[in-house]
């Protein structure tokens, strides 16, 4: 009896430890800590607030796009236009400032409205025309690229007349007010995912679309909302670019969609849909940028950097599969 009790205790403690280690947020924090320790041991200057604040600040641009991407992936879809949608939204905001004489608030609203419209177009193609989100958003990516270059004539568009430099150059805690806005958005998004009916329906649709439909959930409406939200967050990332640089450029968001997808995958958002947290996605962005800065400070060859990042994406997907299998075994056993 005593041996059986000890065995059960060891089993329970092992199960608790495995659940802790397989928690998406913990699974991202551990490599961040390890990577920071290893890099600091080689390059002590890495462990300074100067570098860490740079990592945090650099994360807001891809981070905003990753928030939108997380909504799309959790619904069982994908949005390959988040990078160039943000770029075009930023260009349109600058165009409104320069050519229409708009102030700060109307300029920002033009940028956000552009992103939402692009997202609504994606949603319409997926839900009404029943096109693949991969093909639709890839096409939208090219459309946004062409429109951004056309509107800007390929040149930077200054928004210095808005007078936002005082706000964007402020450095509370060595960061920026935009960083704290980004953190606020993560908190709000996680509340939406975990605590609202929309979040429940979103996870249900991503987990099993047919079952969600049979349960009375309007799948098309949920997916339309998801693409609009994704477009809004793409625009937020583009506006962050514009505000920080005091100008818009047709090159700002190039390749951002793939970095956003990598960050979301690393952060534990299931690539099959239906599971994940926004905190995990935020930590995934932080891990991606920590790795990026570490590779740069260690002067690793650029091509090798891409190889390592590709391997990390594969490992994150494999970890997601392993996590699901462990969870399924636990449910069957318990």
Q: Is 190 domain-assigned?
A: yes
What is the mean pLDDT of the segment spanning 101-125?
A: 96
- Residue 216 φ/ψ region, left for φ over 0, alpha for ψ in the -120 to 50 degree band, beta for the rest: left
What is the mean pLDDT of the segment spanning 300-318?
A: 75
Contact of 207 with 274, CB cutoff 8 Å: yes
Q: Is 68 domain-assigned?
A: yes
Q: Structure pTM? A: 0.87
CATH number for the domain spanning 62: value is 1.10.3470
Contact of 296 with 309, CB cutoff 8 Å: no
> Does residue 209 have a pLDDT over 80?
yes
What is the mean pLDDT of the segment spanning 192-217?
A: 91
Contact of 237 with 253, CB cutoff 8 Å: yes
3-state secondary structure of 227: helix
Contact of 28 with 281, CB cutoff 8 Å: no
pLDDT tens figures, 85-94:
999 999 999 9
Q: Is 161 domain-assigned?
A: yes
Q: Containing domain of residue 264, as a range?
A: 28-322
H/E stretch holding 121 = helix 104-127
Closest CA to 316 of 22, 15, 106, 100: 22
Q: What is the pLDDT, as a whole number, of residue 18?
A: 56
Q: Is 1 domain-assigned?
A: no
CB atoms within 10 A of CB 262: 23
3-state secondary structure of 248: strand
Task: Between 166 and 205, name the one with better pLDDT.
Answer: 205
Angle between helices 302-333 and 256-266 (to 10 degrees): 40
Q: Rounded CA gap, 220 and 81, in Å?
A: 20
Closest CA to 73 of 267, 314, 283: 267
The tokens for 328 are 């399924």
CB atoms within 10 A of CB 93: 30
Q: Is the dihedral of CA 220, 267, 295, 183 positive or negative?
A: positive
Write out the DSSP string of 172-207.
Answer: GGGS-HHHHHHHHHHHHHHHHHHHSHHHHHHHHHHH
Angle between helices 24-42 and 302-333 (to 10 degrees): 150
Q: What is the pLDDT, as a whole number, of residue 9?
A: 47
> Does residue 149 have a pLDDT over 90?
yes
Task: Between 75 and 27, name the one with better pLDDT.
Answer: 75
pLDDT tens figures, 44-76:
878 788 888 888 898 999 999 999 999 999 999
Q: Is 22 domain-assigned?
A: no
Q: What backbone torsions phi and psi does residue 49 show, to the nearest 5 degrees?
A: -65, -30
Q: Rounded CA gap, 73 and 266, in Å?
A: 13
Q: Is 223 domain-assigned?
A: yes
Own/partner pairs, 323-328, CB within 8 angstroms, 24+ separation: 323/22, 323/24, 323/27, 323/268, 324/270, 324/272, 326/18, 326/22, 327/22
Contact of 261 with 6, CB cutoff 8 Å: no
CB atoms within 10 A of CB 188: 12
Distances (CA, A) of 153 to 147, 235, 251: 10, 20, 12
Q: Rounded CA gap, 298 and 38, in Å?
A: 11
Total domains in the chain come to 1
Q: Rounded CA gap, 160 and 165, in Å?
A: 7
What is the mean pLDDT of the segment spanning 9-34?
A: 63
């Amino acid at each position: 009896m005593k041996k059986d009790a000890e065995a059960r205790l060891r089993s329970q403690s092992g199960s608790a430890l495995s659940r802790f280690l397989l928690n998406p947020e913990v699974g991202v924090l551990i490599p961040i800590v390890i990577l920071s320790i290893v890099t600091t041991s080689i390059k002590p200057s890495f462990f300074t607030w100067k570098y860490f604040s740079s990592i945090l600040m650099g994360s807001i641009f891809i981070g905003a796009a990753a928030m939108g991407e997380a909504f799309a992936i959790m619904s069982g879809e994908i949005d390959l236009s988040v990078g160039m949608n943000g770029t075009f939204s930023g260009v349109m905001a600058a165009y409104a400032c320069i050519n229409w004489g708009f102030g700060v608030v109307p300029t920002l609203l033009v940028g956000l409205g552009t992103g939402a419209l692009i997202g609504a177009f994606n949603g319409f193609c997926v839900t009404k025309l029943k096109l693949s989100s991969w093909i639709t958003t890839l096409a939208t990516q090219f459309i946004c690229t062409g429109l951004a270059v056309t509107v800007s004539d390929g040149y930077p568009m200054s928004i210095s007349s808005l007078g936002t430099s005082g706000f964007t150059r402020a450095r509370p805690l060595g960061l920026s007010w935009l960083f704290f806005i980004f953190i606020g958005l993560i908190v709000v998004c996680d509340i939406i995912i975990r605590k609202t009916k929309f979040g429940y329906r979103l996870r249900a649709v991503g987990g099993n679309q047919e079952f969600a439909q049979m349960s009375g959930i309007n799948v098309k409406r949920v997916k339309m909302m998801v693409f609009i939200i994704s477009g809004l967050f793409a625009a937020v990332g583009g506006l962050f670019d514009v505000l920080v640089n005091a100008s818009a450029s047709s090159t700002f968001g190039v390749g951002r969609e793939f970095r956003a997808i990598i960050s979301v995958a690393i952060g534990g958002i299931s690539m099959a849909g239906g599971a994940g947290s926004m905190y995990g996605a935020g930590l995934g962005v932080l891990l991606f940028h920590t790795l990026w800065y570490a590779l740069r400070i260690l002067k690793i060859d650029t091509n090798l950097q891409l190889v390592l990042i590709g391997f990390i994406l594969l490992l994150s997907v494999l970890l997601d599969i392993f996590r699901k299998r462990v969870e399924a075994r636990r449910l069957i056993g318990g």
